[in-house]
Amino acid sequence: MPRALALSLVLAASAFACAPLRASKAWTVLLYMDATASDLVAPSARDLRSMEAPSAVPSWSAASTAEADVVVQLHRRAPPRVRRMRLIQVPSPLTDPDVQSPVVEALDEEGVPLEESLRRFVTWGIDRYPSERYAVIVWGHGQGFGGIAVGEGPRAVLDVPGLGRALASVSRRRLGGRPFDLYASDACLMQSIEVAGELVSVARYVVGSEAIEEDYAGLPYRAWLPVLNGSAPAPREAACPPADAACNAAAALVGRGVGVTLSALDEPALATVLLPSLGRLSAAIEGYLREDDLRRIGLRVLLGPDLGALGGTPDLGLGTRDLGLFLARLSAQVTREPGAGGTAGQSGVLRAVEEVRTALGRSVVAAVFGGRHAASDHEGMAGVSLWLPHDGEEYRLHGAAFAAALYRGGEGGASFRGFLDRVFAPPD
Amino acid sequence: MEKEEIERYLEAFDRTPAAVRDRLPPKRTPGGVEIVGGLTAFAPAAIASGGYVLQRDGVRARVHASDGGGVVTVADLARGKAPIKAHDRAEDVVDVLRYDRPAEMDAQNLAAAALTETPWSDNYWPVYLGVLGNRYADTAFPGSDTWKENHDYVVARPASAIVATGAAAALDALAPAEKYDLLVGDRAGTLTAAMWAQGQGILDAHGKVETWMGICHGWSPASYMLGRPRRAVAVVSPDGAVGFRFFPSDIKALASLLWASSAPAVRFIGTRCDDKDPARDENGRTLSDACFDTNPGTWHLAVVNQIGVARRAFVMDATYDYQVWNQPICGYEYHYFNPQQMTFAPTLAEALVPRADFTRDRFTRHRSAGYAAVAGVAMRVRYVAETRPSHAETDDPGRDRLVLVDYFYDLELDRDGRIVGGEWYVNRHPDFLFSPARGERAVSPADAFATGAWGAGRGVPASWQGAAVRASAVGMPLARVVERLITLAGG
């Protein structure tokens, strides 16, 4: 047995032996951290240290407390490759270089697919640290609907359907089919309609960034966890009913983000209100285009690269656009037309845009915008993205990959296909 | 470049490196005369405050490349938890990367090269003058620094009234956008309105239209991706009622607008830099990675392989040089110097300093991993600058404005003599390079709807007219119209 692994098991055994018998806590936070990419080692250490380090207030903690457990599976390339830890407050400065909480288990998951690895970790975490509510966070590189936890090596990407399957499996076996209270992606480009659509049945709230986390800013663990673990006051979030602890936790996570773009999505509202409204918007755009085939030119410009005042919609990365910005530019384009609102097609689009905005208001319970997204030319951002091809070629190349996303499949007719097919069809 | 010029610079650099590094590289005419003034679009206040760095950065952020069928903008290149890597590899901008060893470059006589057909000079068509709504040949047009004054003039003398007079001289003096609207039978003047609307939008949002805002990012690629309009072209409106002329400057304006507005994906290297005054070390070396790149090794590989081997222009931008903004490069020559002795070196062998012997290296802690030797380079770059539009009836390379600028840097070579990095000896250096791929076209989304052909001496087809109006609404001319005009103009 490798020495490091043996040592870890000893530590694990002692941690287990010392763990008190506990009544169920309010929260268990399960952080699945894939830092196998070489540029993620330092950010992983920084985030974990931000949870362990004390503050000047003795009762304050961003780690495990009597109210909550903060449990991490950390995967790095250096052995031990996979460590499971229950984060505790460690009385050393925030500037210390790496995580110091004791290892509960050390594993070698060589050859284990990411989906299975996540499923095992979350199952283990629930068994070992039961609580009333569970928050699962997956940390790593993000590729939007392409996947998350993008490390290096053969098991590089956890695709979004795989993420959904892993959580669904644990929900079924350990939670009686109840969805997780909160799921968060601490990775770029993950807060999209496509990703959230895949998680409708497995998470009550979904938190993440639709953008690129500039300089690895990430989630505000140090500000958020004290709210969750009872070591700091937890003011009720304006958008949430007082009794909805999950909503308050999700909104608090977003609200404490500084300099980042984050949002929290209410998944039932997404499924029942937002996705159907998008389907109706697509149908309205089709009707608008049927009135005048040359309007497809304007739609092609709208979907094209951002040209500022000239048109287009900003790309957040990998072809994703903020839904609120898209709506703003679509309605601006329609209202700029001569006789705007005068035809059934024009008024239909404007009505459908308003309906989606209303649905967004119900689905997005919190959002903050940082960096360049705080600028005036990004006014109207919703905090949730969707993939929109820039041109027919991109649609042809990548459309199939997004066909699997729920909202394109058409629960209640919620599909964007008709509108995109029409826009990018050859001229009549 | 003369040996004495190079040694003068090196001697000064050796004495006070931080101060010399920070100087604005002088610009010269091909005849060697230093150009004083007239080379910048930025206002004196913006230059003094460093605000031009931010103004430039905002434009650069929208440049985008095609990436696996998607789009990656310069703004996406933030360090973050996304698998997008900073672009600083010569192969990301050049057509072909054939030589990566200076010894090979020298052996292939690539120490100097110039393009046979230079990119054409044009205006940057500033927003405060109405972009292509600028009646540049109308002697009464105010040409004021104040957008509103210029706009008021055009509103008081609408194009429709001028067209109604039928006077040839008055028609000649219409703005390029007004002529385009007339050509495609757009009585509403949609393209012209879109041009002035840009300034109105900026005025409403910011209270002022800055003089630097324009479409130089469209001119620079258009200047070599599209042929040179060599003569004026006579055209008629679709109903045949009005005959008028496009001058080469009018056609260039439309070409520049086409490339600025339809903005096809380009290949680029470099990132954003929005730091007005980045931290520097004791030698004046910029410590910000984003503002240091393009690495001089990348720059050298790009210039020699693109201009010398591929024989095609590309565009350079230099954040801290307010005189250089999106300039097409059309030639270069380089010489060596020995960075240990800081003296001119007639050959690479005499310039090369093995790593162990480089005891006077000021940049040791910034060097690349695995370099074995360093050689100094003094490169003189020839680029094309903007000119004022005119009613000259013909155009040729003799009317272009060529500018020379010198850059000093060293190259880090590995054991096999390959370039692996380098250090700049000047802070106001090129740091963003881009070019459309060979054969790329700028095409508006409306072009697919413009079917049929436009015959010489006839009005444009009806389908072109309908498509043109839709594209004009967002400030785009049809590529089919622009390309046809260039063909008719002998380009």
Tokens of A9: 């098991």
CA distance B275 to B269: 18
With a CB cutoff of 8 Å and minimum separation 6, the contacts of A35 are A41, A43, A44, A74, A75, A76, A139, A140, A151
Contacts of A218 in chain B (CB under 8 A): 81
Long-range contacts of B42-48 (CB under 8 A, 24+ apart): B42/B211, B42/B212, B42/B322, B43/B210, B43/B211, B43/B212, B46/B210, B46/B212, B46/B322, B47/B322
Match 């103009």 to its residue by tokens: B489
pLDDT tens track for B377-389: 999 999 999 999 9
| Crossing angle (nearest 10°) for helices B248-261 and B479-488 | 150
User: In degrees, to the nearest 5, what angle opens at C-alpha A423 toward C-alphas A419 and A425?
Assistant: 115
CA distance B175 to B171: 9
CA distance B423 to B362: 10
Cβ pair A307:B263 closer than 8 A: yes
Model pLDDT, residue A12: 39
Model pLDDT, residue B83: 38
The counts of H helices and E strands in chain B are 17, 15
Q: By the 8 A CB rule, do B344 and B3 touch?
A: yes
Contacts of B69 in chain A (CB under 8 A): 393-394, 397-398
Domain ranges in chain B are 3-63+100-119+305-431
Cβ pair B62:A140 closer than 8 A: no
Q: By the 8 A CB rule, do A207 and B100 touch?
A: no
CA distance B409 to A5: 51
Cβ pair B474:A307 closer than 8 A: yes
CA distance A94 to B59: 39
Cβ pair A309:B202 closer than 8 A: yes
CA distance B129 to B146: 8
**How deeply is B463 buried, as exposed, middle or buried, from its count of CB atoms within 10 A (0-12, 13-18, 19+)?**
middle
Q: Give the DSSP letter string of B135-155.
A: -TT-TT----SSHHHHHHHHH
User: Pick from B64, B76, B467: which is nearest to A212 by CB?
Assistant: B76
Q: Which amino acid type is present at position B383?
A: Y
Query: Which of A260, A310, A329, A387 to probe by mutation at the B interface, max B CB count within 10 Å?
Result: A310
Cβ pair A398:B79 closer than 8 A: no
> In chain B, whose CA is at the least distance from the CA of A187?
B81
Contacts of B85 in chain A (CB under 8 A): none
Tokens of B147: 């957008």
Q: By the 8 A CB rule, do A179 and A371 touch?
A: no
Quick one: DSSP state of residue A263?
Answer: E
Enumerate residues 196 to 225 of chain A having a beta carbon within 8 A of any beta carbon in chain B. Answer: 212-218
Model pLDDT, residue A108: 86
Tokens of A69: 């457990």
Cβ pair A315:B79 closer than 8 A: no
Q: Give the DSSP letter string of A289-349.
A: HHH-TTHHHHHHHHHS---GGG------BTTEEEHHHHHHHHHHHHHHSTTTT-SHHHHHH
Q: Is B38 on the interface with A (CB under 8 A)?
A: no
Domain ranges in chain A are 3-260, 270-423
Closest approach of chain B CAs to the CA of A338, in angstroms?
A: 11
Q: By the 8 A CB rule, do A380 and A325 touch?
A: yes
Q: Could you tell me how many CB contacts below 8 A there are between chain A and chain B?
A: 120
With a CB cutoff of 8 Å and minimum separation 6, the contacts of A316 are A189, A210, A211, A212, A322, A385
Q: Is B462 on the interface with A (CB under 8 A)?
A: no
Q: Is A292 on the interface with B (CB under 8 A)?
A: no
CA distance B92 to A407: 36
Cβ pair B64:A305 closer than 8 A: yes
Largest CA-CA distance found in chain A, in angstroms, rounded = 78
Contacts of A307 in chain B (CB under 8 A): 62, 261, 263, 474
Question: In B251-271, which positions are buried (b, 16+ CB within 10 angstroms) versus exposed (e)?
Answer: bbbbbbbbbbbbbbbbbbbbb
CA distance A286 to A417: 10
Closest approach of chain A CAs to the CA of B51, in angstroms?
A: 17
Interstrand relation of B64-67 and B70-73 (parallel, antiparallel or unpaired): antiparallel
Q: By the 8 A CB rule, do B197 and B154 touch?
A: no
Look at residues A41, A408, A364, A330 and name the one whose alpha carbon lies nearest to residue A191. A364
For the beta carbon of residue B30, count every other beta carbon within 10 angstroms: 11
User: In degrees, to the nearest 5, what angle opens at C-alpha A97 toward C-alphas A93 and A99?
Assistant: 85
The dihedral over CA atoms of A305, A307, A312, A318, expressed in degrees to the nearest 10, equals 30
ipTM: 0.78
Match 């990419």 to its residue by tokens: A37
User: Pick from A186, A297, A336: which is nearest to B445 by CB?
Assistant: A297
Q: By the 8 A CB rule, do A142 and A185 touch?
A: yes
State which residues of chain B have pLDDT below 70.
52, 62, 66-87, 272-275, 288-293
Contacts of B466 in chain A (CB under 8 A): 294
pLDDT tens track for A176-226: 999 999 999 999 999 999 999 999 999 999 999 999 877 677 899 999 999
Look at residues B332, B295, B297, B293 and name the one whose alpha carbon lies nearest to residue B313. B332
Cβ pair B82:A309 closer than 8 A: no
Contacts of A298 in chain B (CB under 8 A): 470, 473-474
Preceding omega of B394 cis (within 30 degrees of 0)? no
CA distance A286 to A422: 7
Q: By the 8 A CB rule, do B419 and B240 touch?
A: no
> Mean pLDDT in runs of 10 for chain A (428 residues)?
36 39 80 88 92 92 96 87 94 84 91 93 97 96 86 76 97 97 96 94 97 81 95 87 94 92 96 92 94 94 83 87 95 82 90 97 94 73 94 88 65 68 88
For the beta carbon of residue B41, count every other beta carbon within 10 angstroms: 21
Tokens of A172: 């079924």
Query: Which of B64, B81, B480 to probe by mutation at the A interface, max A CB count within 10 Å?
Result: B81
Model pLDDT, residue B43: 79
CA distance B332 to A291: 56
CA distance B201 to B193: 12
Enumerate residues 317 to 346 of chain B having a beta carbon within 8 A of any beta carbon in chain A. Answer: none
Q: Is B166 on the interface with A (CB under 8 A)?
A: no
Whole-model pTM: value is 0.83
CA distance A241 to B88: 50
Query: Which of A209, A295, A318, A385 to probe by mutation at the B interface, max B CB count within 10 Å?
Result: A318
* H helix or E strand, kind and range, residue A132: strand A131-139
Identify any residues that bridge with A368 across adjacent strands, giving them in sequence order.
A262
Q: Give the DSSP letter string of B262-329.
A: S----EEE------SS--B-TT--B--HHHHPSPHHHHHHHHIIIIIII---EEEE-TT-TT-SSEEE
Cβ pair B82:A212 closer than 8 A: yes
Q: By the 8 A CB rule, do B370 and B106 touch?
A: no
